[in-house]
Amino acid sequence: MTSREAAALLGVDLKTMYTYRRDAEKIGFPKPQTFGRTLLWREAELLEWRKTHPARQRKKVDTNPGPDEGSDG
């Protein structure tokens, strides 16, 4: 699978995929097969890595103002 497809599978940005690749030895990230300049990833290896490296939960931002916020009067 392409880097873009791999990023979608893991639920990360494409930039994050390249960061994972750069830090592969440190974080145990699978290495891609290279064909020229094209990187291809094995889905099974990515899914196995994800099992031991769960996605971080993003903090939810409260967009509803409290009772004292957002009103002028």
Stretch (H or E) spanning 33: strand 33-35
Record the pTM: 0.72
pLDDT for the residue 16: 95
CB neighbours of residue 50 within 10 Å? 13
Q: Residues of the chain whose pLDDT is less than 50?
A: none
Residue ranges per structural domain of the chain: 3-52
Owner of token pair 């990187």: 39
Stretch (H or E) spanning 39: strand 38-40
Q: Which residues pair with 38 in a beta bridge?
A: 35
Residue 1 near residue 39, CB atoms below 8 Å: no
pLDDT for the residue 56: 75
pLDDT for the residue 9: 95
pLDDT for the residue 68: 62
